[in-house]
Amino acid sequence: MGDLAVEAPMTEQALVDGQIDISNRLFSFVDSMTLKCAVELRIADIIHSHGCPLSLSQIASGINQNSPSSPPINQPNLQRVMRKLVQMKIFTKTYTATDVVYGLTPSSVSLLHDADITLAPFLLWQNDPTSLSTLHYLSACVKDPQGMVTGFQEGHGTKNVFAMAKADPEYNKIFNAAMKSWCTVFAKAVLSGYKDGFGKIQTLVEVGGGVGFLLSEVVKNFPHIKGTNFDLPHVVEMALDNGLISHVSGNMFEDDIPSADAIMMKNILHDWGDEDCIKILKNCRKTIGNNKSGKLIIVDIVIREGGPSSQGPLHDFVVTFDIVMLAHTSGGKERTEEEWKKLFAAGGFPTINVIDLPIYASIIEAYTE
């Protein structure tokens, strides 16, 4: 047999375990759909507003009160959804002397609509039929030697998620709300992780800052900073009008980026392939010009090469998110530190410094010298 690896024979029990494993995984979309159902029915908000665990009929009457013109909800079906959510550890289930009550967990707190930090709009965006259907085309992405095929192109005829947001005002709303909510879970970590850095900056431009949530938080916490958000016109149209920051609309590939001491980009470069990233970086480099202290502040994922243990609990998320990039973007991907280094050097930023955050991403400072 030479050097050929020989597969060990599998026991009958191991094969049954494999069948069970695949059966569970092939229904994993049911997990995210059940979460979507919980968010749509505002189950976490109803329990939260009462301040204590609630019985099924109390949750049902909360749902009915939220939509008085709809017919009364189906309690047996609600009970089945609650059973699944309890199994997923999204809610607790406790037996009292007279009833069964459902309570919040840290996971369901992340699903509250009306909270400073929430993943509800992000979850609704990812599980919206328009977003979700793009994942049917992963194999087409893999078969394309040029890497130009995207799930959005195949499914909707729009180049990528950004082109879809431009083409469909309703999707634009869902997308921008999702990005804002995504920033709510990052803001605290970015603000404290880069406290010293923000302290030294007078002017800050955020490229692709969406509606401007993160930049507004930076300026709120570091009021000496003059902040400018730079994003596409259909995004800037919906931007936050809070008097804290200004907004400029433009295209980061073609238009001049407003000048500042530093340019921040959060989850921008991971949306693009290397060639496009180099174009964006060169455009930033042009803005920085001869300003020796000019720099980039990048908030993005750094894949750790040491495998799951080096990425911590987010390892699965990072690998999964990379697949979403495959379907949603034109060449976007998650990168290792080595890949980031090469990319920044090619774009005119030969020195980088990585600061890890206790969240999905790191801060990468990139300097011109």
Ligand X SMILES: C[S@@+](CC[C@H](N)C(=O)[O-])C[C@H]1O[C@@H](n2cnc3c(N)ncnc32)[C@H](O)[C@@H]1O
Cα–Cα dist 144/217, whole Å: 41
The correct pick among 43, 46, 235, 318 for binding ligand X (CB under 6 A) is 235
- Pick the catalytic residue from 48, 156, 247, 270: 270
Provide the residue type at 274 as one letter.
D
Under the criterion CB under 6 A, does residue 251 sit at the interface with ligand X? yes
What's the Rg (C-alpha) of the chain? Answer: 23
The residue type of 18 is G
> What b/e readout covers 169-183, taking b as 16+ CB neighbours within 10 angstroms?
eebbebbbbbbbbbb
Tokens representing 7 are 């597969």
Q: Is 252 in the site for ligand X (CB under 6 A)?
A: yes
Tell me the torsion sign for CA atoms 197, 201, 207, 208: positive
Total count of residues recorded for the chain: 369
Secondary structure of 177-199 in HEC code, one letter for each residue: HHHHHHHHCCHHHHHHHCHHHHH
Q: Among 53, 208, 227, 294, indicate the residue that binds ligand X (CB under 6 A).
A: 208
**CB 240, min distance to ligand X, A:** 12
From 41-49, 124-132, 227-235, 282-290, give the range in contact with ligand X by CB under 6 A. 227-235
Site for ligand X in 169-188 (CB under 6 A): 179, 182-183
Is residue 257 at the binding interface for ligand X, with CB under 6 A as the rule? no
Q: Taking the complex as a whole, how short is the minimal distance between the CB of residue 248 and ligand X, in angstroms?
A: 10
Residue 270 annotated in active site: yes
Q: Please choose, out of 12-20, 144-152, 197-205, 261-269, the segment that lies near ligand X by the rule CB under 6 A.
A: 261-269
Least distance CB 249 / ligand X (angstroms):
8
- Measure CA 39 to chain center: 17
Nearer to ligand X, 66 or 251 (CB): 251
Secondary structure (H, E, C), 256-313: CCCCCCEEEEECCHHHECHHHHHHHHHHHHHHHCCCCCCEEEEEECEECCCCHHHHHH
The reply on whether position 268 binds ligand X by CB under 6 A is yes
Least Å distance, CB 160 to ligand X, is 9
Q: How far is the CB of 180 from ligand X (least distance, A)?
A: 7
36, 156, 266, 341: which one binds ligand X (CB under 6 A)? 266
What type of residue is 343?
L
Give the footprint of ligand X on this chain (CB under 6 A).
162, 179, 182-183, 208-210, 231-232, 235, 251-253, 266-268, 271
Catalytic residue set: 270
